[in-house]
Structure 1
C-alpha cells in the first residue's frame, strides 16, 4: 500500500470525500476521516490552495479539488487496463448513478488473414468473419499484403500514417457495424454542448486515445475519457467511458470488477 505524506493524505481524502457527495469539504468533516486536528488541516488547506489544487467557492464554504488535482488523482488511481462486463442491468444502474457515458465496440482485435483480388477491380481484406473491400490499385495491393497478420488497430494506425483515406473510411464503417453497446448519449452531449458530441458516438473516438486516459484537448475542460480493453457479455471489445472529472469512475469500476 502506498504511503502518503500528511499533505497528500489530506488532498486524497478531500478528493474522495468530494466524489462521494459533490459537496465542499470542511476541516471538521475531514478531521473525522484522517484523525488530524482541524487547525492543522486548515493550514494544509491554505498550502494546497496556494498550489492550485484546492479552491473555495465561497468564503464560508469548504474546499473542492480543482481540475488539475482531479487529473493527477485519476492518473494515479485508475490503474485498471481491462474490464469484464457480464451484468447489463448493473452497468446501466452505475452509469446513471455516476452520470457517465459509455461506448463498447469490437473490431480492433480482428486479424488480417489474407488479401485477395477480385476481377482485377477490387481488393478484399479477409478478417475471417468480416471483410473490407477496396478499389484495386497495384500500390495499395503491395502495401496491404505486407499487413497480413496484423490486427485492425495496427492497420488503422499505419493507414493513418500513410493517409490511406479509403481504408480508414472502410475501417470506420466496419467498427460502426460492431458497436455492441452505447448508453447515456445525453451525457456525451453535455461534454461538448455542440455538434462535436457526435464524435463520442462513434468507435473512431478510440483512435485518438494514445493512452487509456484522455483530458483536453480531446475532451472539454472538466471532462475526461477512459478507454479499457473489455469483455462485454463474452465478446472481446473496447469500452470507452466519459464524463466529468468529478464523476466517481473508480467506484464504478470496482463494483463492476467485484460483480464479474
Structure 2
C-alpha cells in the first residue's frame, strides 16, 4: 500500500484539487492521509466532505509545530509500506501511483526512488524539468548536480525512517533537502527512474518563494549542506574539502580545456 501524506494549513484554494489528483490516480491500494494544522478557512469542510465519500481518505485537524511536524504525524499513522508526500499545491502525473507500486515490487526495504519533476509557474506552464540523475552524496552536498526538487517526484519505504529518523520539526524551510541527504545515505537502495512523476508549482507569496526572494533559502541550504558534510566519515570529508578547493576547480578547468583541444 502507498500512503500519500498531505500537510495543509489554510489551503482552501488547492485542497480540493489535491484530493482529486489522488482519486484520479485510480490506485486501488492507497490511503490519502491529510494532516491539517487547524485551518481557519474552508479547508476542513472540503476535506470532511470528500472523506465522507471516499474511504481511502484519513484526516485530522489540530494545531501543530509546522510542516515537518505534520508530515511526521502522517508517517507515524501511515498503514502503507510506501510513503509519498504530496504538498497541497503540487500534483502527480497520470497513473504514477500504480507505476510506483509496480517498481517497488522488486526493491528491498528500505529503498528511495526518485523520478523527474516538472517545475511550473502560476499559469501551470512548465519552466523546466528537474532530472536528478546522479544521487551520490558527495556531488549532492557540493551542489554539483541537481537534487530531487519536490516530494511529488520521489517515494520511499516507510522503514527508511527507522534508519534516518523522522523530519526535523525545527526545520521549516529546507526539510526536504535535509531528508534527501539522509535518505541517499541511509537507504539500502537509491534508484533514479527517468520518468516524470511530479509537478511543483512555483507560486508567489508561498513560504518557499518568500524565502527564496529574501535570500534566506540559499543560506539555509548552505547550512544544511555544511551540517551533513560535518557528519561524513573523515575520508569523505577530505574528499569534499579537495573537490571544493579553488585549486581543484582550476585543475578541472585546465583539463577540460586541454581535452577540448583539437590536438588532444
Instruction: Please give the range of the TM-score, normalised by the shorter of the 2 chains.
Output: under 0.3
Q: Going by fraction, where is helix more abundant, 1 or 2?
A: 1
Structure whose CA Rg is larger: 1
TM (norm. structure 2) is: 0.26
By relative contact order (CA 8 Å, sep 6+), the higher-ranking structure is 1
